Amino acid sequence: MPTKPLDRLMFVQGGQCFFCKQPLPKAEASVEHLFASSNGGSNNDENCVACCKSVNALFGSMSLKEKFQVVLNQKGQFKCPNGTGSVKISIPSKVPPTNTPQAPPKTPAIAKTKDDKLAFVVANLKQRGNSKPRTLKTLTSTVGSLYPQGVSKAELASLLQQLQLTGKVIVKENKVTYVL
């Protein structure tokens, strides 16, 4: 009996997220195409990894180069956007160590204020390129998935309303167009 791609990837990865190496419950798992399928990437196991839905949503249709940049920007501490964990990634350095204290690496904070949340959503939509949601229903679920630890229906409605009020999103007959 053939197995589903997600089941195969979860087995091969030992039930852990490919990026943060934390245990990955199947309910939170999704298949991330390293080379985005919207950009012609294949569905074979060499191009796919299992990761949490929030990382998948964050990466959207980014190019492989952009995805590497996101990982590298973590400066050796990949912090999962769903807040469940981080893993230290060893990156060789050609700079000899110094005895001067350095500030801890900055990790992206989960957006807390209404303006931060709106900026986070707009940034994610921009990254999606031509893969942005085209219906209000899909946009609603996409924005909700950016906050895996939950966002209230009222907050979600407020975010969607702010997208429209700021002119970033135009909704007409449940069809969505963007002015990003």
- Between CA 118 and CA 123 the distance in angstroms is 9
- String of b and e for 151-163 (b: at least 16 CB within 10 Å)? beeeebebbbebb
For 46-68, write each residue's pLDDT tens digit.
999 999 888 888 888 888 888 88
Partners of 78 in the β-ladder? 87
Structural domains of the chain, ranges and CATH numbers in brackets: 5-88 (1.10.30), 114-178 (1.10.10)
Check residues 95 and 139 and name the one with the higher pLDDT: 139
- Between CA 19 and CA 80 the distance in angstroms is 8
Place of tokens 């942005």: 132
For residues 17-27, give the mean pLDDT: 85
* The residue count for the chain: 180
Place of tokens 């801890």: 104
pLDDT the model gives residue 32: 93
Q: What angle do CA 101, 102, 103 make, to 5 degrees?
A: 130
pLDDT the model gives residue 31: 93
Q: Is the pTM of this model over 0.85?
A: no
Give percent above pLDDT 90 in the chain.
19
3-state secondary structure of 126: helix
Strands 48-52 and 77-79, by their bridges, are unpaired
